[in-house]
C-alpha cells in the first residue's frame, strides 16, 4: 500500500466514524423529541367502538386545589396507562448509549482529521522553511 493510498484510507475511515456519530446522535435526538412530545402534548384515548377520552399531558395536568393529586387520580387510569412512565423511561434508557456512542464516534473522527490536517500543515511549513 502506498503512502497516498494509506492516507486516503485513513481519512475515509475517520470521515465514516464522524458520519456514524452524526447518525447515532440524530437517532438519540429523535428519541428525545418523541419523549418530549409524549410528555408535553395532550392526547386522546380511543376505547370501544365510539368512545374517546381527552387526556391532558402528563406534565401539564390540573393537580387540583391541594396540588397533591397524581396524574392517574387527576386524569384517570386509562390516560395514565396510555402514557406509562416505564415505557418512556425505557426509551430514555435506550437513547443514552446511542448519544454516548455517537458523541464518541464523532469526536474520534473529528480529532483524527484535525490531527492529520495539523500534521500536513506542519510538514508544509517545515518544507517551506527549509526552502
The C-alpha atoms of residue 81 and residue 57 are separated, in whole angstroms, by 13
pLDDT of residue 66: 66
Task: Please give the mean pLDDT across all residues of the chain.
Answer: 89
| Residue-level pLDDT at 107 | 97
Span 51-67, pLDDT tens digits: 888 888 888 887 767 66
pTM for this prediction: 0.81
pLDDT recorded at residue 32: 97
Q: Which three cell numbers stand for residue 85?
A: 412512565
Q: Where are the domains of the chain?
A: 20-130
Report which of 95, 102, 113, 98 is spatially closest to residue 20, judged by C-alpha positions: 102
pLDDT at 78 (0 to 100) = 86
Tell me: the pLDDT tens digits for 71-80?
A: 888 888 888 8
Low-confidence ranges of the chain (pLDDT < 50): none
Cβ atoms of 58 and 45 closer than 8 Å = no
Q: Which of 128, 123, 119, 122 is nearest to 11 (CA)?
A: 119
Amino acid at each position: 500500500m502506498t503512502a497516498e493510498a494509506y492516507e486516503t484510507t485513513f481519512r475515509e475511515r475517520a470521515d465514516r466514524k464522524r458520519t456514524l456519530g452524526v447518525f447515532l446522535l440524530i437517532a438519540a435526538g429523535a428519541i428525545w423529541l418523541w419523549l418530549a412530545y409524549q410528555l408535553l402534548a395532550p392526547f386522546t384515548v380511543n376505547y370501544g367502538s365510539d368512545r374517546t377520552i381527552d387526556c391532558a399531558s402528563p406534565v401539564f395536568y390540573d393537580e387540583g386545589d391541594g396540588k397533591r393529586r397524581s396524574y392517574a387520580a387527576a386524569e384517570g387510569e386509562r390516560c395514565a396507562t396510555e402514557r406509562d412512565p416505564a415505557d418512556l423511561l425505557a426509551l430514555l434508557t435506550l437513547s443514552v448509549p446511542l448519544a454516548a456512542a455517537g458523541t464518541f464516534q464523532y469526536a474520534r473522527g473529528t480529532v483524527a482529521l484535525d490531527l492529520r490536517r495539523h500534521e500536513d500543515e506542519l510538514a508544509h511549513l517545515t518544507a517551506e522553511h527549509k526552502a
